[in-house]
Amino acid sequence: MPERVLLIEDDHELGGQIVERLRRAGYEPLWWNTGRRIPPEDLQGLALVILDLMLPGTYGMDILKDLRATSDVPVLVLSARNDTTDKVRALKLGADDYMTKPFWPEELIERVRARLRRPTLQRQDLLEVGPLRIDLELREVRLDGKPIELTRVEFDFLTALARRPGVAITRAWLVEHVLDPERDGTERTLDVHVSRLRKKLGGALVETVWGIGYRLAAGRDPGSNASGDPKRKPGHEP
Amino acid sequence: MRLRLRLALTTLAVTAPTIVALVALDARMRHAAAEQALARIAFQHMLESGARDRCEATPATWGGTPLPAPRTGSAPPHDLPLFDHPSGPASPPPPPADGERPVRAGEPPVLFAYDALLRAANPRAPVLDEDLVEAIATRDVAAEPFTIRGPTVQVLLRMPWTTGPCTYVLARGTTGPGWLGAILPASRVWLVPVGIVIVAVLLAVGPVVGRIRKLTEAVRRSAAQGFTGSVTSPGDDEIAELGRAFDAASQEVRTQLAEKDRREQALRDYLANTTHDVMIPLTVLQAHLSTLQERAARNDPFDMSVLVSAMDEAHYLASLMHNLAIATKLDAGEPQLHRAPVDLNALVNRVMGRHRPIARQRDIALESAVPEHPVVTDADVTLLEQAVSNIVYNAIRHNRPGGHVAVLLEVIHEGRFRVRVLDDGPGIPEADLSRLVERGFRGDEARTRAPDGQGLGLHITFRVAALHDLDLRFQPSEYGGLQVDLEGYCGP
């Protein structure tokens, strides 16, 4: 069942483009080209509202205020004005996000997706990312069901990445939180550990992110990709 | 209305009724005194022995001025003719009833007799006023009701007897002599304080009016010169205070005018620069679109690079417009910072979202890392976001296909955050960098002198960093390109 997104935008060209993009991204768009109060019955089944602040005859902020009085539906505000006062005001009135025109369509879809992303339920003692299954209690790692023997550093490293799958983690953070401070704790050492880990895991599960550090490939669940870009290319080695 | 005239009219308005009231009171009192005196003279005369008999003996001729008793001689007064006959040589003619001759103050009193029905036997006796007739019905002495008609005073007296032609006696006289008859007081002493007051008022007002005139001229002069000259009035009284207040006001006007001029200039500059800056990328964009259209019309193979360039120009235009708007705010004088807690993780993610489409088109790997928990700082979110965005876009724009840009948000030490932007592009020459961060280097210079117009973006980043007390460092990155660090304190 596609999620329904209400777009309130007076410009026909822009409105049409956004509607088309939303549909292609798998949402069910609903487009109003005039600003008016949203009756409570229309709010039923709405997953998100995209609201243009500059509508003829209506002040977008009033619609927002009205909406917030009756509903908690996420609101993404669009505005041609790159103005802090407007942003602060919209956020105070309960907007969830603020986008300044112009924007690329991908940018908008990414924001909508980020807003509608459901938090993945994770058990405290078990991490599952793609083919990886990490039991934190038993400190046991399985790849496609097969147990893999890891050293303490390798296990901690993998756990750190798996906690935020698809998100790049900096080398500095990993050195500080994963390596034993008593022993040689440099980024060079980290890279050595990573190359050993890669041999054990095989494939491109642990990605190197240029200039940053490492990332666990998000695998088969793009919805859990925090940066919202499932088509990202693997990073290049620096 | 002129000050002097107003003052004169006010004085007049206050003085005139006062004088009228005083004069009326004075006249009233003198009338009362004259009435008492007349009544006394008439009673005294009539109650003398033989007076009634004389009157009743010749009622047709009785009347006139009672003759004063001789001051010398021992003869009893009643032996003397107390009453002259009106025809007698010693008597002045009795006052006529019809007023053919104006009555003068200080004339001697005259008496006439009337019977019980208030008829006079003497044809010279005046006809009694109705007021007197009415008044005598209930009392023994009746006087005319007070009017400021002149010095004439009439009193009608009821005699102690009730019959005969001399039952009532009319005593007629005048008040004491005085200037303008009975109206004004006899003495002119009152003129002295009035004169002194008028002179004092004129003496006091004269210089004040003169100084106010001078002040007015000074204000007019100052206004004619566009409030550039100062207005002063010596002294420490209210007029000097007025002069100082006007000076302060004109100073404020000067400040406001200067501020307005500066804003207008900034707006004009913005319009001129914007037009100039926007037209170039817009022209390039048009050329790209035209190329695409022509190739499509000729069925030539699709050229992705032209499309990417067109997208690049559009992206550049968007960034340029934001930067120009901010440059205008920063150049227009004291910029207003709307500080509020800013979630830097979200800010970095927004910047990434903005540039990721164009980086992807240019085949540049754009990566970012933010800590798991939000890093918050107190800043103007629009300015800070544009500052970070400019660094990131600069790294993308000055890179090659296949290049990398990485953005790292980290909490370093002592509650400080660092936004680091790395790239492996060609970097920016040292000279250009140092010029961009020069103090006093203006946005319009950044546009024209820095390569590719991107100087404006970095220049704005520099200014925003300075406004927020952030450390901004440019240095060569270990990957061959540029490393830009923006550091500041966490926390709202």
Please give the model's pTM, rounded to 2 decimal places.
Answer: 0.64
Query: Mean of the pLDDT values across residues B262-287?
Result: 83
Helices (H), B333-450: 344-361, 381-397, 430-436, 443-449
Q: How far is B225 from chain A (nearest CA, A)?
A: 39
The phi, psi pair for B446, rounded to 5°, reads: -60, -35
pLDDT confidence bin for B382, thresholds 50/70/90: very high
Q: Do A83 and B382 touch (CB under 8 A)?
A: yes
Instruction: Please give the pLDDT value at position B94.
Output: 45
Instruction: Please give the pLDDT value at position A13.
Output: 93
Instruction: Please give the pLDDT value at position B99.
Output: 41
Indicate if the pLDDT at residue B75 is higher than 90: no
Closest CA to B246 of B265, B275, B270, B223: B223
Q: Do B369 and A209 touch (CB under 8 A)?
A: yes
Indicate if the pLDDT at residue B462 is higher than 60: yes
Contacts of B467 in chain A (CB under 8 A): none
Indicate if the pLDDT at residue B74 is higher than 80: no
Q: Which of A152-156, B38-42, B451-455 has the highest mean pLDDT?
A: A152-156
CB A37 within 8 Å of CB A45: no
In a mutagenesis test of the A interface, which of B320, B347, B376, B382 is the best target, namely the one with the most A β-carbons within 10 Å? B382
Instruction: Please give the pLDDT value at position A225.
Output: 38
pLDDT tens, residue by residue, B188-243 = 677 788 788 888 887 888 888 888 888 888 888 888 887 777 777 777 788 888 88
Interface of B with A in 357-376 (CB under 8 A): 357-358, 365, 367-369, 371-372
Domains and CATH numbers, chain A: 4-116 (3.40.50.2300), 126-224 (1.10.10.10)
Indicate if the pLDDT at residue A146 is higher than 60: yes
Q: How far is B1 from chain A (nearest CA, A)?
A: 52
In a mutagenesis test of the B interface, which of A170, A188, A232 is the best target, namely the one with the most B β-carbons within 10 Å? A170
Indicate if the pLDDT at residue B73 is higher than 90: no
Q: Nearest-CA residue of chain B relative to A176?
A: B412
Domain covering B337-489 in this structure, CATH number: 3.30.565.10
Contacts of B368 in chain A (CB under 8 A): 168, 212, 227
Instruction: Please give the pLDDT value at position B214.
Output: 86
- Which token pair is A231? 């088509």
CA separation for the pair B318, A198 (Å, rounded): 43
Q: Nearest-CA residue of chain B relative to A208?
A: B367
Indicate if the pLDDT at residue A20 is higher than 80: yes
Average pLDDT, chain B: 80
pLDDT tens, residue by residue, A75-117 = 999 998 888 888 989 999 999 999 999 999 999 999 999 989 8
Q: Are strands A169-170 and A213-216 parallel, antiparallel or unpaired?
A: antiparallel
Contacts of B340 in chain A (CB under 8 A): 84, 88
Indicate if the pLDDT at residue B247 is higher than 90: no
pLDDT confidence bin for B187, thresholds 50/70/90: low
Contacts of B365 in chain A (CB under 8 A): 210, 233, 235-236
Report residue B302 CA to chain centroid gap: 74
Q: Do A84 and B365 touch (CB under 8 A)?
A: no
pLDDT confidence bin for B451, thresholds 50/70/90: very low
ipTM, two decimals = 0.86
Per the DSSP assignment, residues forming a β-bridge with A5 are A29, A48
pLDDT tens, residue by residue, B137-177 = 888 888 877 665 567 788 888 888 888 888 888 888 877 65
Instruction: Please give the pLDDT value at position A230.
Output: 39
Higher pLDDT, B430 or B458: B458
CA separation for the pair B65, B469 (Å, rounded): 114
Higher pLDDT, A108 or A232: A108
pLDDT tens, residue by residue, B301-343 = 888 889 988 998 899 889 888 888 888 788 766 677 889 999 9
Instruction: Please give the pLDDT value at position B341.
Output: 92
CA separation for the pair B428, A213 (Å, rounded): 25
Average pLDDT, chain A: 85
A210 touches chain B (CB under 8 A): yes
CA separation for the pair B124, B260 (Å, rounded): 95
Indicate if the pLDDT at residue A220 is higher than 50: no
Give me the percent of chain A exceeding a pLDDT of 90.
Answer: 53
A237 touches chain B (CB under 8 A): no
Choose among B369, B424, B477: nearest Cβ to A170.
Answer: B369
Q: Do B365 and A233 touch (CB under 8 A)?
A: yes
Choose among B338, B372, B422: nearest Cβ to A164.
Answer: B372
Q: Do A87 and B381 touch (CB under 8 A)?
A: yes
Q: Nearest-CA residue of chain A relative to B360?
A: A232
- Which residues, in sequence order, are CB contacts of B188 under 8 Å at separation 6+? B179
Instruction: Please give the pLDDT value at position B146.
Output: 66
Contacts of B479 in chain A (CB under 8 A): 210-211, 238
Contacts of B404 in chain A (CB under 8 A): 210-211, 235-236, 238
Q: How far is B325 from chain A (nearest CA, A)?
A: 9
Residue ranges of chain B that CATH labels 3.30.565.10: 337-489
Q: Do B406 and A102 touch (CB under 8 A)?
A: no
